């Protein structure tokens, strides 16, 4: 079957790639791709399959006679955010969101978010980020004392995730197999507002900070992929400021020092222990200590210079654990809001158990247990 050259060109552009990059990723000759785009020659079925895989699109999309618009995956790691050549793992996560959105949007179920979560206009100022964080901390409802009692990033994460999902936002976990992006916020073609948290090389505390960061992207409706450890533009600095103040307001830090009997310093043991007590990442803690004047900027720079890469080792992993409870792991992966939507679509007859399995990989044997829990 002949392909539309315009369709191939459009898909390459939407994915932020070029012909040379696609050729390298698909192992299809650059000249062959160029000739297919100009409609001079046809590609073999094997080459078409390889190109579809490299672009992370279903075969029916690449065979479309007219270009199919994909999600504009803006790269917020750059100074001037625009579409970028993300790795295959990130593109796969984006493709999952596209598929999920298109499918759910075709059903009759309600995918709207609560009115309180309407889009917020912002000047991206530091003051607005801090004020917005204070407002949403109140909306969230987690008290300072509760967070100090938790002493566990996972408990804080569960609380914040449940709150965000109750607003109507889908929050899912996905391994990007790379740490180039920590999270994605997307709202595709009338589908659900979706946040994807990358589980690769990310501790519970870092995933929590990423969730707060992507929640801010949702509030101001800035779609794309980001990494809170890479701050090159105003949007990322705004979202980081919001997340830091949402998760670690001044009162939490001051009261935490008093309750746990700590004195602020740039000592590695203090940073590791106090960050764990507050349930936040080490990077976030040290930045907040500098911000409120308990550490000097020079101390942060010295502490940070010990580590290579964008993420301190203590924020990359919590250590290896067992397989745990399968149903609990599935619920963590898919999230309560997505499970609610899938349950509704199934009960309304919009999707059956095979549709759901093909959509997101959730096997029929787990669907009943998760939907009825």
Instruction: Quickly state the pLDDT bin for 319 (edges 50, 70, 90).
Output: low
When mean pLDDT is compared across 33-37, 69-73, 158-162, 254-258, the lowest value belongs to 69-73
Instruction: Quickly state the pLDDT bin for 136 (edges 50, 70, 90).
Output: very high
Output the average pLDDT for the chain: 94
The candidate with the shortest Cα–Cα distance to 311, out of 180, 177, 149, is 180
Could you read off the pLDDT of 55-85 as tens digits, one per residue?
Answer: 999 999 999 998 888 998 899 998 999 999 9
Q: For position 276, what pLDDT does the model report? A: 95
When mean pLDDT is compared across 67-76, 135-144, 215-224, the lowest value belongs to 67-76
Q: For position 240, what pLDDT does the model report? A: 95
Mean pLDDT of 165-193: 95
Q: For position 149, what pLDDT does the model report? A: 98
- Strands 170-174, 194-198: pairing is parallel
| DSSP H or E segment with residue 114 | none
Q: DSSP 3-state helix, strand, coil percentages of the chain (rounded to 5)?
A: 55, 5, 40
Could you read off the pLDDT of 18-55 as tens digits, one per residue?
Answer: 999 999 999 999 999 999 999 888 999 999 999 999 99
- Provide Rg for the chain, Cα atoms: 22
């Amino acid at each position: 079957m002949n392909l539309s050259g315009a369709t191939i060109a459009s898909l390459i552009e939407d994915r932020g790639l070029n012909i040379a990059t696609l050729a390298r990723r698909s192992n299809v000759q650059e000249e062959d791709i160029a000739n297919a785009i100009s409609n001079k020659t046809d590609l073999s079925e094997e080459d078409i399959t390889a190109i579809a895989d490299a672009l992370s699109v279903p075969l029916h999309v690449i065979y479309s006679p007219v270009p199919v618009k994909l999600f504009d995956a803006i790269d917020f790691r750059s100074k001037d955010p625009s579409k970028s050549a993300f790795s295959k793992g990130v593109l796969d996560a984006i493709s999952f969101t596209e598929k999920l959105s298109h499918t759910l949007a075709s059903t009759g179920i309600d995918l709207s978010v609560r009115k309180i979560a309407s889009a917020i206009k912002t000047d991206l100022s530091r003051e607005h980020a801090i004020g917005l964080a204070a407002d949403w901390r109140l909306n969230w409802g987690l008290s300072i004392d509760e967070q100090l009692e938790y002493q566990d990033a996972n408990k804080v994460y569960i609380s914040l995730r449940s709150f965000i999902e109750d607003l109507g936002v889908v929050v899912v976990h996905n391994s990007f197999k790379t740490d180039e992006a920590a999270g994605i916020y997307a709202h595709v073609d009338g589908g659900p507002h979706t946040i994807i948290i990358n589980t690769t090389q990310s501790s519970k505390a870092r995933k929590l900070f990423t969730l707060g960061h992507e929640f801010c992207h949702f509030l101001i409706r800035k779609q794309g992929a980001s990494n809170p450890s890479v701050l090159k533009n105003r949007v990322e600095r705004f979202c980081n400021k919001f997340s830091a103040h949402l998760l670690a307001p001044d009162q939490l830090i001051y009261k935490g020092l008093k309750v746990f009997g700590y004195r602020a310093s740039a000592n590695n043991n203090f940073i590791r222990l106090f960050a764990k007590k507050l349930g936040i990442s080490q990077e976030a803690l040290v930045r907040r200590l500098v911000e409120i004047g308990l550490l000097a900027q020079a101390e942060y720079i010295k502490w940070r210079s010990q580590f290579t890469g964008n993420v301190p080792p203590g924020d990359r992993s919590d250590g290896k654990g067992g397989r745990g409870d399968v149903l609990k792991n599935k619920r963590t992966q898919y999230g309560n809001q997505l499970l609610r939507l899938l349950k509704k679509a199934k009960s309304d007859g919009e999707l059956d158990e095979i549709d759901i399995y093909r959509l997101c990989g959730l096997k029929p044997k787990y669907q009943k247990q998760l939907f009825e829990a």
